[in-house]
Each structure stands twice: as C-alpha cells, then as structure tokens.
Amino acid sequence: MPASAPEPMIAPSILSADFAHLGAAADAVSRADWLHVDVMDNHFVPNLTLGLPVVRSLRQATDLPLDCHLMIDDPDRWAVGYAEVGAANVTFHVEAAADPVGTARAIRSAGAFAGLAVKPGTPLAPYLDVLKEFDTLLVMSVEPGFGGQTFMAEVLPKVRLARQHVNAGHLRLFIEIDGGISADTIEQAAEAGVDVFVAGSAVFGAADPGAAVSHLRELARDGMARSAHAAGRL
C-alpha cells in the first residue's frame, strides 16, 4: 500500500480567461496547483497568444507556479527564456524540436522543470528514451491551437504507456493531459494514469472558476482511486 494516495494536480489554462485581466484570472484560481500558460506563435499552430513579456509580468502577479506550454517553432532557441523569467515548467513540442535533449538540459539548468508535449497523432514509443531527460510529459487530447475542443479519448493509450514506464521506475515524470478536460472527461483521464490536468473552458467558462477547480480535483481523485484499486495497489 502506498504511504499516501496520489493527489491530482489541476492546471487551469488562461487561454480561456480574459486576456485584459490575467492577474484577476490567476487570483480566481488561487487554489489550483499550476497556472497553464499557452504560448502560440501563428506558425506551429494557427493562433497567436502571448510571449515572454507577459509571462514575466504574470510571474509578478501570482504565486502560482507557471506551466508554460510552448506551441511554437524553434523551441531549441526560445524555450530557455521562459525558464529564465521564472516559469516553473517549460513544455515544448517534440514535433517542433531539433534537439529535445539539449533543450531540456538548458531548461533544467535555468532552474525549471522541462516538459515534452506530443500532439494527438504523435506516437510516444519512439521518445521513451528521450523522456528520461524530462520532468513532465504533456499528452495533447485535442489538436493544439484552440480551447473549447472535444476531448480525444484515443490518446489515452499513450497515457497508459507512460504510466507503465513511470510505475516500473523507467521514467520519473509527471503525466499531464491538455485539451477537452471537463467534469465529463477528467475521470477517464485519471483512471488512465494522468497526474496533472489542464482545463481551460471548464474552469474559466464556469460561473465560479475556483469552485470548478475544486470539483475537477474531486472527480480526478475518484478516477485515480479507481485505477489504483484496479491495479491492486490499494
């Protein structure tokens, strides 16, 4: 029996918040675990959001750890800057990186966690060795670029594969899921083995974003408990 049950982490995505009041958005979810910040460059994805100056300002506006998800070309050049301005976790896409290991090492040297993201159609198996250099794995459960899309349950086998490698001690990382997470979908993701749940519209589209975070956490806890029982761990 584990010393304590695993605790789900909730990372509200400010992509669904009011960009003119990001400090207030962070305050509204102060009981969250991380604040998810989607950086898009109009090249890797067909949408444009924010960059280093906004992350630097957000760092001053909230105590929440900033979970920066870079949906940008050439992360080998740009990712380390997000660690340098104080992001807690800097995740970039394997599809965009020429040197994922070198970039992960640079991010870690600058004091942040390094994260690797995979789009829904990108297999995980070829990157299991590379993932030894990372602290988080972000499994996209929608095509990156926009909030409010429908959850793609077909990515969950990648979560299960990563969970097996973490449980076996081959990898040490947080498994994060991003896209379409809501009260309707979070339990199946938790059962598959997710640790960190990104939710944009389900949090900032709710009348009370703080309450939405708490509700999602409860549901994730239920899903995790079921998977622990199923695996005979409890």
Q: CA-to-CA distance for 93 and 117, rounded, in angstroms?
A: 5
What is the number of other CB atoms lying within 10 angstroms of the CB of residue 143? 14
Nearer to ligand DX5, 69 or 165 (CB): 69
Q: Tell which positions 190-229 bind Zn ion, by CB under 5 A.
A: none
Q: Is 67 in the site for Zn ion (CB under 5 A)?
A: no
Q: Tell which positions 100-139 bind ligand DX5, by CB under 6 A.
A: none
If phi > 0 it is left, if psi is from -120 to 50 it is alpha, else beta; for residue 138 that is beta
Q: Is 178 in the site for Zn ion (CB under 5 A)?
A: yes
What are the angstrom distances between the C-alpha of 171 and each of 62, 64, 130, 225?
31, 26, 10, 22
Report whether 205 belongs to an annotated binding site.
Answer: no
Window of 99-107, 128-136, 157-165, 173-181 that interacts with ligand DX5 by CB under 6 A:
173-181
Window of 106-114, 157-165, 179-187, 219-227 that interacts with ligand DX5 by CB under 6 A:
179-187
If phi > 0 it is left, if psi is from -120 to 50 it is alpha, else beta; for residue 120 that is alpha
- The Cβ-side half-sphere exposure at 138, using a 13 Å CA radius, reads 29
Active site annotation includes 178: yes
Active site annotation includes 129: no
Which stretches of the chain bind Zn ion, using CB under 5 A? Answer: 38, 69, 178
- Residue ranges at the known binding site for substrate: 13, 69, 145-148, 178-180, 200-201
Tell me which residues are annotated as active site.
38, 178
